[in-house]
Copies of this chain bind each other. A is one copy, B any other.
Amino acid sequence: MPTEDTHKGSKGPFRVYSPASLGDAIRHYRTAAGLTQAQLAEMAGLQRSYLSELESGKETEQLKRILRVLRQLGVRMTLDEADW
């Protein structure tokens, strides 16, 4: 992947309201970090194919359940850079 990005991407924050939006955010931060799916998958200890599906917004029951709870409570989930 030759896309050389020397700029610390400071996009976001990302609002998470669905599996798809979570996937979008993860992909954004992964590419901003200059990582491939294979690299991140290994770092996080999971299968690359699973990460691919996660970024694609694959709908899973557990995630949808949690998001339903939060929606009913009027709570919003946000992802942003920790920026240590």
Chain A interface residues (CB < 8 Å from chain B): 13, 16, 22, 25-26, 29-30, 33, 35, 40, 43-46, 50-51, 54, 60, 62-63, 65-66, 68-84
Contacts and interface: CB of A to CB of B under 8 A. Distances in A.
Q: Which of A26, A63, A72 neighbours the largest number of chain B CB atoms within 10 Å of its CB?
A: A72
B78 A78 contact: yes
12 contacts: A16-B77, A29-B73, A29-B75, A43-B72, A44-B68, A44-B69, A45-B68, A46-B69, A54-B69, A63-B66, A74-B81, A75-B80
Question: In the assembly, how many copies of this chain are there?
Answer: 2
Contact of A51 (B46, B69, B74, B83): B69
A22 to B, nearest CB: 7
Of A26, A45, A62, A73, which is in contact with the most chain B CB atoms at under 10 Å from its CB? Answer: A73
